[in-house]
Each structure stands twice: as C-alpha cells, then as structure tokens.
Structure 1
Amino acid sequence: MPTPHQPSLIVRQKSPQNIEFPFASLSDWLIPTELFFVRNHFPSPDLDARDWRLRVGGAVERPIELDLDSIKAMRSTTFTAVVECAGNGRVYYVPPKEGLQWQNGAVGNAAWTGVLLREILEMAGVKRTAREVLLAGADSGVVDTNKKTASPGPIAFARSLPLEKAIADSTILAYSMNEEPLTRDHGYPLRAVVGGWFGMAWVKWITHITVVEQPFLGYWQARDYFRWERSLGEPRLVPLAEMEVKAQIARPVQGAHLIVGQPYRIFGAAWSGEAVIRQVQVCTGDGRGWREGRLLETERPFAWRLWEYMWTPEEVGRYILRCRAIDGAGCVQPDLQRSDCESYAANWIVPVEVSVVAEPQTYEEEFVI
C-alpha cells in the first residue's frame, strides 16, 4: 500500500487487475515495485515455488526440468530495463480505440535479476532447425467472446521470440525486481525480461519454454498484439516487437498554472527499443522552436533516460508544451498518430497545455492525472 507521501496507482480494471503508475509523480530513475504498473490478461496465478517447475522442450537435444533453486544457483545477471505496455497511450487515439484506456503510466523502469535465457537453452541443446523460442505462462482463461478475435476456448498467455533475440544478452528469466523477489502481480516466481521490446513479450509466471521450428501463430501473436507492415507495398500483419522511440512529459501536468517570469522545470522520461536515447527536444510554444533538453543519469542500454528543460515564461497566456525523443538509430518521435498500429504503439507527441499567469493562484494546484 502506498504511504501517505506516495501517489495512488490508477485502477484501469479491477478483474483481472490492471493498474497504472501515475506518471505525473515520476521522480526517480527506478520505479518502486509497489508503484509499478500491472498488466494482466487473466487473474494472477497463485504459484508455490516449492511445486513450480520450468520445463524446456521442443526442438532441443535434451528436454529439461528445473526448479527455482536450480535456476537461482546458476550465474546471475542484473540489468536495468524499461518495459512499456504496447497499449500505453491508447486513450490519446482519435477516434477512440478498443482496449484498456491507458494514459501515459503503463510504463516503468526497474532493475531485474535472473539468468540469461541463452544459458538455459544451452543446457537443453537447441537444434539447428530452431527458429523461435516460445514462452508460456501459468495465466490462462477465455478471451472476451464478444470480440471478433475471441479465443477458441481457454488459452494460456504465450509469446515467441526469434532465436536471435532469445539468445541475446538483453533477454533474461528474472526472479528478482529491484533487489526483491518478484511479487505475484509481477510474475512470481519467474518472468521474462526482454530488453527493448514491448511488455507483451515479457511473459510472466513462465512454466514452459518450447523451441519451435516454425513461426508461432498462437492467439497472442497472430490475433492480438500485431501491427500492419507496409514495406512490401501491400500491408501485411506482423507481430509487435520493439518499443518505439518516445518521450513523455511528467510535469507540468495538463492545465497547470505557472507564474510569468519564474523558472519552471519541464521534466519527463524517454526511451526506445534496441537503440539508446540520444536527444530530447522541447518546444514551449513561445515561437522559439525546438530546444535541447538535458539528459539525466548515465546512459544505459534498454533503460529509460530522465530529462529536464528549464523554462522561464516571459508573457502571460496559454502555452502548448511538447517534447520529442531521438534515438541512436536516428528515429525521431512522430508528430501525429499512425494508421498502421491498430490500437498499439501510441508514441506520437502528446502536447501539454499550461497557463502562465501574473500572480500565484490562491488555491492549491492539484495533479491532473
């Protein structure tokens, strides 16, 4: 439970539980576990580590079964990575899109500890014919039958990774988050951490790993979490994978009142997929165009960058604040929403409108979440 000094999480759905981090309260590079957003498709399974097993099979030389103690006895690795729900920002789509109406808080940065997925695959001996690695969780159920894409009876949440991503240094099976054991809502006892990829790839409560020789076309890969790809001319469906370059303003919040002539810190976070953030630019709507924001903390692959820009408004009036990120691959955050991402990957610039006034307001300004 949050302390009196902590903001409350925003409930987007009670059952299964889906809760959002109040992004306007962002202050630290790492988001505390108790404030981290939760995305569940089905109720969180209540697993007992004493009975839980990880089974690895499929196109391998030696199918294996491991308990949690065996995995913890392996060489551990820790790295910090940002995870964003693919539907983060969906509320900003025009016209509205179906799905949970996330604003900008279905994203977070945490320190994850576990073992490289590659080392577990090496124990099993991946066959040369392997193409993908399928991760399946213990959470299962029936997808809403009112939807056109309803599931054919009960299904588990399962997603595959291309073999090259599965064996990369940025993909681990984590049992710890922010130096504490995973909580139930965050995938206890074991979850995937897939640096640079949207959260649907970060399968929680993993029980089965299956190496497959053909592309996986399960429900969560072929009927949901996809976008349109037009590189071949005619559009084709491709599964979602890497996160898109994005920066968000945490403060000031929408509708804030600032005082003319007083410096104000515009503050937020930025992230991308496989590439690091190189720049965050800020436009304050005062006719001076885009200006360079200051990146905070040390650059680390797959983690987000906090940023700031100090602005002193010189005239009373309404201003539209905007920010945009540019990553190391040269990708620039777009101005406008795209038509090829279904209801996902909402990474276009979301403006924040503020009022600059001559005198302090007599009331206490509140966060507008």
Structure 2
Amino acid sequence: MRTEHASLQEGRISRSEEPLNLEMPFENVDQFITPTKSFYVRTHFPIPNIDKDKWRLSVEGEVERPLEIEYDEFLKLQRRKIPVTLECAGNNRSFLEPKVKGVQWGLGAVGTAEWTGIPLSILLERAGVKPNAREVILEGADEGELDDAKAPRGKVRFARSVPLAKARADVLLAFQMNNVDLPPEHGFPLRAIVPGWYAMASIKWLTRVIAIGRPFTGYYQTLDYAFWRNGELMPLSEMQTKAQIARPVNGETVLANSNVRVFGAAWTCDEIGRVEVSTDAGSTWEDAQLLGESKPHAWRLWQYNWHTPTRGRATLIARGTSSRGSTQPTERDSNRGTYMINHLLPVNVTIE
C-alpha cells in the first residue's frame, strides 16, 4: 500500500487501494458531525495533485458571460456553511444476495460534515445563464480509462449533471470541510455539495461548470449510477430514506434483564420525521427518540431504550420515515441494481 494511503486508512476500513476507497466503521458514530479523519473516502480514479495557485474554475456553455475564476478570487465571494450528509449510492452493497460487482461497502459509506463554500447560484447569476439551459454539468479533474465495453475510449473525467433548478436552489461549491481546507481525498481545492442527493453528484476536484440545453449523456450519468424505471435507465438522484443501527453491532452479546441503548442514525433527501425500532424481527415496532435538532439534508441521530428479556436471541431492526412520509421498505427493489440500497437490515444479538 502506498505510504500516503496507509496513513489515510488509519481508523477506517480499506475497500480498495487503487482507486482508494475507505469506509467509516459505522459502529463508531457518536456525534452529529463526522470527523474528517473518519469520513468515508470514495474515488474512481487516482487522486489529482492540484496546485491551488494554478487551479481555475470555468463556468461555460449556455451562458452569456463565460467565467474563469482563480482560487483567491473565489474565496472573496459570499460564503455559507451548512451541514450535509453524504452517502455513497452503493452503501450497504455487501448485504445484497447474490453478491454483485462494485465496492463492497458495509454500513459506513456515509457521513455528515459541515461544508463551507459559495452557492453555485452566485456564479450562475454572474455568468448569465441563457433561457434555453436545462442542466448544469459538474466536472472534476479526476480521470482515467474505464474497463467497460460501453464506455468511451481513452480517458474519461468524472462528471455528473443536475437540473438547473437544483443548481440554483442549493448546490454549494465547498472549499472547507469541518472548518479546514478540503483534504486532497475529499476534493481539494474545490468540490460540489449537492444536498439531498447521493454523493456521486457532489463532484470532487471541481474544474468546470457547464450549462447545457439538453440532457447530459455522460458515462456516469446514463450508464453508471443509473437505475431501471419503466424499462429505461434513469440517473440516480435523491437519497432514499434509511435508518441504520450503529450499536449494538451484529453478532454482539448483551446483558439479559438490563437496559440496552440501541443507537444509530437516519437520513433521507430532506429531513427525518420518525424512526421506529423492532426488537422482535419486525413483528412489533416502537418509536425511537430523535436526538438533536432536525436540519435539512443532514442525518438525525436517534436512540431507543431496550429492556432486554431473559437469555436468548433477538433481531433488532430500525426503520426510518422522512418528513414527506416516505418509509424505508422491507424488501429490496431489484430495479435499483447495485445502488439505492435502503431496505431493512437486521441486527442479530445474543442475550446472556
């Protein structure tokens, strides 16, 4: 393992070295903000080595006044700071049966950080988006060749698009994570944060913003990070509602006739409205206590006080419901392929 990768791996689970993919042990979740050193890392290609003094961000395409902005100039723009939960669209993939291709994430390809940056709307307004624009492409500096017969030949850059309305509403161009400059593995010098969407849209190492008047047909928009709907492959977008148990962990032994704290986190594309817990494999459900303040696009920690019975075995399950009323499904939707995995996951414990 490369020396720099070895230092990054500390405290995280290595899912692959090249490209670098590191998972946070979900049982370590204990606070609203995930420490940067614990936050999962997802890359598709080698991490670009970018000199911020030479870096430029271009705003181009269907705009009246194309822009090219230097790093120091960018920092002078009006900034904001927001907490946002990012989840890899393939989180929980290792629980799928039969096994599928892709990074074998467990529970921990998710985290919440405070992101400081400039609203994309400021740059779009300055550039003057033309009336015919429909989408905005976000393109990173990371690139590589793809082992896929359907992919374009040669090097491909990682890029995704969002609807123009979403780009104007709340997309943030972040230069800080948890109050310090972005580390290289999280997109230095600049990354997009697309609140409420799976993290493939939150492009790292951002170099280009392109307004277009037609649907984007890039590889990571139409062939990968897509799911089947009505016989057509559709790009992934909003995160699905999910609650996960951090503790106890699967296979743990807990004390009989005692109070055990069942603890975890829940998230969705907007806000969590309710979390329920079952201690009998889904036969009955009780409400968990939601902790802290509800914030848009950020997870909600929760807890449930479980008075354990006498010795035996128990299956714990958490179930989330969004403020919109979307409840976590019991079964897996096969049309989602290897993505958007939010069906109920049991945690089996022994009581002694």
Shorter-chain TM-score tier: over 0.9
The counterpart of 2:260, out of the listed 232, 257, 264, is: 264
Could you tell me how far 1:276 is from its partner in structure 2? 0.9
Partner Cα distance (1:97, 1:211) in 2: 35
* SS of equivalent residue, structure 2 residue 126: helix
The one-letter amino acid of 2:243's match is A
The one-letter amino acid of 1:99's match is G
1:170-189 matches, cutoff 5 A: 170-189=170-189
1:194-343 matches, cutoff 5 A: 194-230=194-230, 235-273=231-269, 275-285=270-280, 289-343=284-338
The one-letter amino acid of 1:226's match is A
Contact 2:281–2:317 (8 Å) recurs in 1? no
Contact 1:9–1:35 (8 Å) recurs in 2? yes
State whether structure 2 residue 347 is matched by structure 1 residue 352.
yes
1:125-181 deviations in Å (ceiling 9; x for gaps): 00000000001000000012xx4544422110000010010001x210000000000
Contact 1:244–1:347 (8 Å) recurs in 2? yes
Q: Which residue does the alignment assign to 1:81?
A: 84
Q: Which residue does the alignment assign to 1:365?
A: none
Contact 2:197–2:237 (8 Å) recurs in 1? yes
Could you tell me how far 1:342 is from its partner in structure 2? 1.1
Partner Cα distance (2:105, 2:158) in 1: 20
Q: Which residue does the alignment assign to 1:91?
A: 94
Q: Which residue does the alignment assign to 1:37?
A: 40
The one-letter amino acid of 2:94's match is V
Partner Cα distance (1:209, 1:334) in 2: 36
1:188-246 deviations in Å (ceiling 9; x for gaps): 0000000000010000001111100100001100110001113xxxx211100000000
State whether structure 2 residue 119 is matched by structure 1 residue 123.
no
Contact 2:281–2:316 (8 Å) recurs in 1? no
Partner Cα distance (2:302, 2:318) in 1: 10
Residues 136/313 of structure 1: CA separation in 2 closer, same or farther (3 Å cut): same
1:232-262 deviations in Å (ceiling 9; x for gaps): xxx2111000000000000000111111111
Residues 29/7 of structure 1: CA separation in 2 closer, same or farther (3 Å cut): farther
Q: Gaps spanning 5+ residues in structure 1: where?
A: 358-369
Partner Cα distance (2:117, 2:38) in 1: 21
Residues 342/148 of structure 1: CA separation in 2 closer, same or farther (3 Å cut): farther
1:252-293 deviations in Å (ceiling 9; x for gaps): 0011111111110000000001x3100000000188710000
* SS of equivalent residue, structure 2 residue 335: coil
The counterpart of 2:31, out of the listed 10, 28, 32, is: 28
Could you tell me how far 1:7 is from its partner in structure 2? 7.3
Partner Cα distance (1:163, 1:130) in 2: 7
State whether structure 2 residue 192 is matched by structure 1 residue 192.
yes
Contact 2:281–2:346 (8 Å) recurs in 1? no
State whether structure 2 residue 4 is matched by structure 1 residue 18.
no
* SS of equivalent residue, structure 1 residue 95: coil
Q: Which residue does the alignment assign to 2:135?
A: 132
State whether structure 2 residue 54 is matched by structure 1 residue 51.
yes
Q: Which residue does the alignment assign to 2:164?
A: 163
Q: Which residue does the alignment assign to 2:107?
A: 104
Residues 57/353 of structure 1: CA separation in 2 closer, same or farther (3 Å cut): same
TM-score (norm 2): 0.96
Contact 2:159–2:220 (8 Å) recurs in 1? yes
Q: Which residue does the alignment assign to 1:363?
A: none
Partner Cα distance (1:152, 1:339) in 2: 30
Contact 1:7–1:25 (8 Å) recurs in 2? no
* SS of equivalent residue, structure 1 residue 128: coil
Percent identical pairs in the alignment equals 44
Contact 1:245–1:271 (8 Å) recurs in 2? yes
Contact 1:132–1:161 (8 Å) recurs in 2? yes
Residues 113/304 of structure 1: CA separation in 2 closer, same or farther (3 Å cut): same
Partner Cα distance (2:154, 2:167) in 1: 29
